[in-house]
Amino acid sequence: MSVFVDTSALLAVINSEDERHDTAAAEWTSLVLSTERPVTSNYVILELMAILQHRYGMGAVHRVADEILPALDLHYVDQSIHEAAVEMVRESWEQRGPSLVDCTSILIMRRAGITEIFAYDERFEDRGFDLVGQ
């Protein structure tokens, strides 16, 4: 079964100063070497690259493009997923509920039958997904 990869995990993989870096890097290596490619979305990559460019500059963005993207099975958010995700965000009355990107990830995982996510965000667990790489 494929594992979905969240922005939080990729940030920990890339940032060697992150307290979860060693665990995240080991999980990333395991996922990349497994028989099924890890999955993510274009929205996750958009969020990741925007954060990296802002915090660390273009070198980090190039690293993602060169080293991370080729290892991923990229799912593109279409109009129906985007619109459903906007509704999910609007329906959440939690002050710190899931972001639009997180909602698109949830919808993609549900549609693809993916139950595991490499993430450091317990809100996915709250929605019935199993966190890996902890």
How does residue 108 score in pLDDT terms, banded at 50, 70 and 90? very high
Q: Determine the average pLDDT of the residues in 60-81.
A: 95
**97: pLDDT strictly greater than 90:** no
Long-range contacts of 19-23, Cβ-Cβ distance < 8 Å, separation of 24 or more: 20/120, 23/133, 23/134
Q: Which CATH entry fits the domain spanning 3-77+113-132: 3.40.50.1010, 2.60.120.620, 3.40.50.800, 3.40.50.300?
A: 3.40.50.1010
Instruction: Give, for 43, the enclosing helix (H) or strand (E).
Output: helix 42-56
pTM: 0.92
% residues pLDDT > 90 (the chain): 84
User: Per-domain residue ranges for the chain?
Assistant: 3-77+113-132
